[in-house]
């Protein structure tokens, strides 16, 4: 067995949104098994409680706490951050994984309320969160923020145009956070998944074109799985990525290496 402190998160506190299942839950478990105390959040408390129990069982310690909050509501996010301080202490790691896609179709047909909800949850909520936790990080002179964007940010879509627009805006936000908070030792990066087998994207990977897409567009010849993101979360949270900030990392089986 190789002993290394490169990915050691002992004593760190991580706050994750969109973490009751799928990618968020996998990332939370990976951070916890590497020593971090994690506060996981989503809208439904019962799902969060089940996820926290699974994480604690996996790491053999009580490192996961569950706090329900709606990522699109500023007052609930502030309550989430306050509760995180009470349960675990100052935040060292922020994972903004919550997101919505409320419009499937042409961008020219988006109702105003759908546009506003998407941009608020996918972009503005992450700015709110960053501003809420960054004092914890700047006080220590270090911290890592990561936000889930999408490969949809890199190309137009006739059906997911609004979602892609919001995720491109999120990358812009990440770059500005990296620029503004870098001098205080705080890093910010974006994670850009391809087609991942989660409940959130089920309509995409269960349709008749999915198998053809896997065999013709994805060099690794498989869809992504939530488990593909645990290691990346640990890497971005740890000293292993200490000189990386402002980046958009694609995790897509090679489908977007040409864009």
Please enumerate in sequence order all residues whose Cβ is within 8 A of that of 236, keeping only pairs 6 or more positions apart, or say none: 144, 146, 187, 189, 191, 244, 249
| DSSP code string of 9-31 | -TT-EEEEES-SSHHHHHHHHHH
Residue 130 exposed, middle or buried by CB count within 10 Å (0-12, 13-18, 19+): buried
Tokens linked to 74: 């500023």
Task: Round to whole Å and give the CA distance between 32 and 60.
Answer: 10
Catalytic member of 104, 115, 163, 181: 163
Task: Round to whole Å and give the CA distance between 15 and 157.
Answer: 32
Tokens linked to 190: 């974006």
Q: Judge whether 104 counts as a catalytic residue.
A: no
H, E, C per residue of 112-165 = HHHHHHHHHHHHHHHHHHHHHHHHHHHHHCCEEEEEECCHHHHCCCCCEHHHHH
* Residue numbers annotated as active site: 163
């Amino acid at each position: 067995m190789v002993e290394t402190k490169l990915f050691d998160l002992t004593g760190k506190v991580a706050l994750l949104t969109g973490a009751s299942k799928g990618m968020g839950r996998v990332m939370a478990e990976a951070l916890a098994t590497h020593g971090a105390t994690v506060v996981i959040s989503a809208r439904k408390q019962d799902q969060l409680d089940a996820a926290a129990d699974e994480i604690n069982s996996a790491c053999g310690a009580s490192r996961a706490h569950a706090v329900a909050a709606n990522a699109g509501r500023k007052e609930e996010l502030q309550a989430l951050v306050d509760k995180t301080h009470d349960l675990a202490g100052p935040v060292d790691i922020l994972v903004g994984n919550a997101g919505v896609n409320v419009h499937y179709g042409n961008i020219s047909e988006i109702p105003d309320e759908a546009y506003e909800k998407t941009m608020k949850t996918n972009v503005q909520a992450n700015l709110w969160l960053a501003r809420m936790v960054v004092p914890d990080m700047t006080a220590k002179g270090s911290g890592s923020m990561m936000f889930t964007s999408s490969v949809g940010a890199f190309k137009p879509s006739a059906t997911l145009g609004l979602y892609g627009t919001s995720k491109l805006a999120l990358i812009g936000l990440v770059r500005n956070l990296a620029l503004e908070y870098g001098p205080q030792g705080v890093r910010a990066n974006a994670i850009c998944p391809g087609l991942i087998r989660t409940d959130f994207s089920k309509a995409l990977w269960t349709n008749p074109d999915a198998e053809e897409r896997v065999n013709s567009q994805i060099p690794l010849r498989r869809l992504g799985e939530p488990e593909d993101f645990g290691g990346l979360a640990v890497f971005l949270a740890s000293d292993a990525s200490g000189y990386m900030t402002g980046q958009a990392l694609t995790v897509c089986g090679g489908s977007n290496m040409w864009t």
